[in-house]
Structure 1
Amino acid sequence: MSYEATVTSKGQVTIPKAVRERLNLEQGEKILFRFEEDGSVRLVAVPSDPMERLEAAQDRAAPYDLDASELIERERRDWGR
Structure 2
Amino acid sequence: MSRDYFGLTIPFLDVLGIEPEFAKDGHSRIRLNLRPELLNSFHVAHGGVVMTILDFAMAAAARSSHEHILGVITIDMTTS
TM-score between the two structures when normalised by the length of structure 2: 0.28
- Structure with the larger helix share: 1
Larger radius of gyration: 1
TM-score between the two structures when normalised by the length of structure 1: 0.28
Q: Which has the higher contact order (CA 8 A, sep 6+)?
A: 2
